[in-house]
Amino acid sequence: MAEILVLVEHVDGDVKKVTLELLTLARLLGEPAAVWAGPGYSDIAKGKLAEFGAEKVYVADSADIVDHVVAPKAELLASLVASRAPAAVLVASTAEGKEVAGRLAVKTDSGVITDAVGVGEGLVADQSIFGGGVNVHSRVAKGTPIIAVRPNSTAPVPATGAAAEEKVDVELSDSARAAKIVERVKQEKGARPELTEAAIVVSGGRGVGSGENFAIIEKLADSLGAAVGASRAATDAGWYPHAFQVGQTGKTVSPQLYIAAGISGAIQHRAGMQTSKTIVVINKDPEAPIFEIADFGIVGDLNQVVPQLTAEIAKRK
Amino acid sequence: MNIVVCVKQVPDTATERKLRSDDKTLDRDAADGVINELCEYAVEEALRLKEAHGGEVTVLTMGPDKATDTIRKALAMGADKAVHLVDPALHGSDALSTSYAMAQTLKKIGFDLVILGSESTDARTGMLAAMLAERLGAPQLTLANKVEIGDGAIRVQRVTDYGFDKVEASLPAVVSVVEKINEPRYPSFKGIMAAKKKPVQTFGIADAEIDAAQVGVANAWSEVTDFAVAPPRAAGTVVKDEGDGGVKAADFLASKKFI
Ligand SMILES: Cc1cc2nc3c(=O)[nH]c(=O)nc-3n(C[C@H](O)[C@H](O)[C@H](O)COP(=O)(O)OP(=O)(O)OC[C@H]3O[C@@H](n4cnc5c(N)ncnc54)[C@H](O)[C@@H]3O)c2cc1C
């Protein structure tokens, strides 16, 4: 069976959930082979990759790979595409994942599909476009299919694989090292799950009114084990860091439950959350467009409704 | 400094967007064409860099005839001139062919800096800037919320999952911007009048040495096999808070097994 390469997303030596989702998908399409780019490969990582069915793990652990923007990862994958002739390459459809996919497509002269929400037989991808208005099936017509799959589109299911480690040495070209990362600045998320991976997201907008008042959004999020998100109005005002912006120019999220408090539902916000399975809205304006996509909406003041909901959840636990 | 800012005309997101039933490409006649919002931020950043460091701002658009409206908008904001890559052979080009055609054109017109918006509201692939960097062999400084040029180097803040990275490279380079970077100016009346007289050069595929076999819907690297309009979301329940809104929300969450 041909290999399906899966580019591993990792942080602090641990594998992110989206990678487990991609491995689960890859098992249906061929033999999953994980690709670890950068330092930090550990027994914990190996254990996770094995648990979700990676038969092989290609490890390229040079720091050079992650100290430069995107290009080294594409070069690494291109060298594996050339030497292993995989049936497909899967990456996470995040802003950076899509950039890796784009460069890899150019390098390998292969077709690329982004924002897939599923991949089926014959490597046909499902996409949801125009803000969820149209469902599309697409396939790659030339080269090795490169498919970027949205986090949270498949439930990760364990199935043991060998996770046989194979070291890969890549000679990076000068152009792959052209954009150097000189410093990384982390914006804290506390102990909460990562925004794009969370099963539940609670977002606040301009209606929250201040940075301090985001505490009520955080408390609701914590009562549900959720991630916190924010609209552009809230991040522009400096009430919450930009890394938590949901929408066209922020993160695209697709959780089981999305709670929007004090957010009007501009098209740019909806572009980042419209595929959420269940949407709950709290807004004082009954005309707010966000109600059009709500499964359950409350017309009211979030300063009353949100704390009451948090207290009620605590009571029922 | 020779700055080229790439702008795209997209269907207005306020109107209904469709795919054509014949070749399954975007139906550009069904909706009004407007400048892609993020491209306005790219134009603004190009103008600010020119104001700070001198040079010239050229607008580059690939798109049908009617994309001239979008070019005029960028010129009215203050760009100096424009190149319009327009050819029937380009219709239905996917991300790979678009990046190829744009890279060929950029090689022809030359650049110190290429600036784009980080994605378009229609295709939303977010790949073009990375693909251009790859094709041009230039450093990729994408998803920038801050750009600085000085001492022969270019420094940007690149938005990441966890915050941002500070990234450094030398020119020539390819930059893409997110909307946090600036506040685009409105064209002034004077700007709008002046835009009418600014030079717009038209390029066909031959002018940019674009191989016809690498572009257009028939040569795309990926294809839409079929599509369907999504069933509308079932209308939800909306209740007015009568002092028990939080309790009602909890009831709903419980009914869906979230609590
Ligand atoms: C290029 C571009 C990219 C963009 N990208 C994004 C993006 O990624 N993400 C994004 O979110 N936006 C984005 N936007 C901005 C978007 O257009 C909207 O401006 C933004 O989403 C509005 O945020 P908001 O809903 O919080 O604020 P508003 O639209 O001001 O809405 C606030 C809402 O809060 C309600 N409210 C006020 N007080 C209360 C209260 N006490 N209780 C309950 N409800 C209350 C009001 O009724 C209102 O509906 C982008 C725009 C552009 C041009």
Clarify whether residues A74 and A143 are in a common domain.
yes
What is the chain A residue with the closest CA to B231? A133
Q: How close is the Cα of A210 to the center of ligand 1, in Å?
A: 14
Parts of chain B with a pLDDT under 50: none
Burial of residue A151 (CB within 10 Å: 0-12, 13-18, 19+) is buried
CB neighbourhood size of B151 (10 A): 7
Give a yes or no: residue A260 inside a domain: yes
In a domain, A78, yes or no: yes
pLDDT higher at B58 or A186: B58
Q: Is A265 left (phi over 0), alpha (psi -120 to 50) or beta?
A: left
Same domain, A168 and A205: no
For residue B181, report the distance from its CA to the centre of ligand 1, in Å: 18
Task: Tell me which chain B residues have a C-beta less than 8 angstroms from the C-beta of A217.
Answer: none
Q: In terms of domains, do A12 and A134 share one?
A: yes
Q: Residue A195: inside a domain, yes or no?
A: no
Q: Is the dihedral of CA B95, A168, A157, A250 positive or negative?
A: negative
CA distance B202 to A204: 46
CA distance A300 to A151: 32
**Same structural domain, A162 and A228:** no
Whether A167 has a pLDDT exceeding 80, the answer reads yes
pLDDT at A189 over 80: no
- Residue ranges of E strands in chain A: 3-7, 10-11, 14-15, 31-37, 56-60, 88-92, 112-120, 124-129, 134-140, 146-149, 164-167, 180-186, 200-204, 227-230, 257-261, 278-283, 296-299
A158 and A233 inside one domain: no
From A208, A220, A231, mutation site for ligand 1 pocket: most ligand atoms within 8 A of C-beta? A231
Query: In whole angstroms, what separates CA B34 from the centre of its chain?
Result: 11
pLDDT at A58: 98
* CATH number of the domain to which A259 belongs: 3.40.50.1220
Res B123: pLDDT: 79
Does residue A257 belong to any structural domain of this protein? Answer: yes
ipTM score assigned to the predicted complex: 0.94
Give residue A36's domain range: 3-177
CB B173 within 8 A of CB B139: yes
The candidate with the shortest Cα–Cα distance to A246, out of A269, A227, A217, is: A269
Query: Where do the domains of chain B lie, and which CATH numbers do they carry?
Result: 2-219 (3.40.50.620)
Query: A210-269 pLDDT, tens per residue?
Result: 999 999 999 999 999 999 999 999 999 999 998 999 998 899 999 999 999 999 999 999
**End position of a domain, from candidates A115, A144, A177:** A177
Tokens of A252: 């695209």
- Please give the Cα distance from B214 to B23 (Å, whole number): 17
The answer on A58 and A148 residing in a single domain is yes
Mean pLDDT of the A172-178 span: 95
- Tell me, yes or no, whether A165 and A26 share the same domain: yes
Q: Is the domain of A158 the same as that of A236?
A: no
Whether A189 is in a domain gets the answer no
Task: Supply the CATH number for residue A39's domain.
Answer: 3.40.50.620
Cα A207 to ligand 1 centre (Å): 8
**Any atom of ligand 1 within 6 Å of the Cβ of A245:** yes
When divided into structural domains, chain A yields a total of 2
Residue A185 belongs to a domain:
no
pLDDT at residue A249, as a whole number: 87
Same domain flag for A150 and A230: no
- According to the model, what pLDDT value does residue B124 have? 84
Query: Which residues 138-167 in chain A show a CB within 8 A of chain B?
Result: 138-143
Helices B37-53 and B68-77: crossing angle, nearest 10°? Answer: 40
Q: Say if residue A149 is in the same domain as residue A234.
A: no
Mean pLDDT for A23-44 is 97
- pLDDT for the residue A190: 74
CA-nearest residue to B100 within chain A is A106
The pLDDT confidence band at residue A128, using thresholds 50, 70 and 90, is: confident
Asked if residue A152 belongs to a domain, the reply is yes
Q: Is A82 on the interface with B (CB under 8 A)?
A: no
Which of A65, A118, A95, A44 lies closest to A242, judged by CA?
Answer: A95
Whether A267 and A137 share a structural domain: no
Left, alpha or beta for B226 (phi > 0: left; psi -120 to 50: alpha)?
beta
Residue B117 CA, chain-centre distance (Å), reads 4
Mean pLDDT over A72-93 rounds to 98
Distance CA A242, CA A231 (A): 9
> What is the pLDDT, as a whole number, of residue A7?
98
* Structural domain contains residue A84: yes
Are A91 and A140 in the same domain? yes
Q: From the CA of A39, how many Å to the nearest CA of chain B?
A: 18
Residue from the list B143, B163, B258 with its beta carbon closest to the beta carbon of A187:
B163
By the CB < 8 Å criterion, does A313 face chain B?
Answer: yes
The reported pLDDT for the residue numbered A96 is 96
